[in-house]
Amino acid sequence: MKVITSNFQGLLVLEPKLHYDERGYFMESYNHKVLQAAGVTTTFVQDNHSYSKKGVLRGLHFQRDDFAQAKLVRVVQGEILDVVVDLREGDTFCQAFALKLSNENKKQLFVPKGFAHGFVVLSDEAQVHYKCDNYFSPDHEVGIRYDDPDLSIDWMLPQKDLVLSEKDMRLPYLSEMV
């Protein structure tokens, strides 16, 4: 597995090594030792799997306080634009990072604690699988509006084609959170 660093401290792109033969392919989607060698000491405790149709935008979510979560995100079917926003004090504070993840490119994104996370489905449908290092706590879940003007995120689809939950439509802008 190839580990690619980003300009965001701890945010990593993982590219698995594919082994093809006449039957198809094999890949290692997770290796604790590889991540540990890259400085990740995370222990995952929960796996989540979502199915969504084109235009569905989930996010931007995070958990606060002791319930913050690191995530390892991959796409099992389809294609998404995965977006994270760094909420940690430092050089990349309130900056966004976006990456296409798909069953074709098989890339994964390791998102350390301290980031808001969201994605939009670019293909007709998508299945997203992600590991978390902390359990979901509805009492500690918060988020940021997907269309926050301070973030200027290009979701790669016209706004009229985006499908959001009522909850995500009510999320505050960054300026309302400070």
Q: Which residues are catalytic?
A: 61, 130
Contacts 24+ apart (CB under 8 A), 18-25: 18/106
Please give the helix or strand (H or E) that residue 101 lies within, else none.
strand 96-102
Token digits of residue 55: 């235009």
Distance (Å) of CA 73 to CA 12, 24, 84, 100: 11, 23, 11, 11
Contact at 8 Å (CB) between 53 and 121?
yes
Token digits of residue 54: 């084109």
